[in-house]
Amino acid sequence: QVQLVESGGGLVQAGGSLRLSCAASGRTFNIYDMGWFRQAPGKEREFVAAVTWTAGITYHADSVKGRFTISRDNAKNTVYLQMNSLEPEDTSVYYCAAKPAGSGSSIRAAYPWWGQGTQVTVSS
């Protein structure tokens, strides 16, 4: 099993920045990709960004490219999501997720391990 704990959410004005963190513990040697997803009220959970644990290859959803950046610190077993130029449409619960090797870095169903989520609210 892999345990994930997110932190760093909060309330910010439009145009501001936040950095989310996700610390992994447990059987972390099973992790191949780590990702961030988000879910707004009444909407499906959607892919935001992912990073491969060993090579550090990153993927970002079109809606956040140029504003959000995913990164990881292998020594700390932690993945980050730097969010800049935040917009009210970014308001969601943000979830950290991890998956073993295999395709589908942007596919929610490919991730067996999830954090509890952290709320991000962007005011206009």
pLDDT along the chain (124 residues), means of 10: 95 98 91 94 96 92 97 94 98 97 88 97 96
What is the token pair recorded at 53?
């644990």
2 contacts: CB under 8 Å, gap ≥ 6: 24, 25, 26, 27, 28, 30, 31, 98, 113
Give the pLDDT score at 30.
82
Predicted pLDDT of residue 104: 85
pLDDT of residue 29: 82
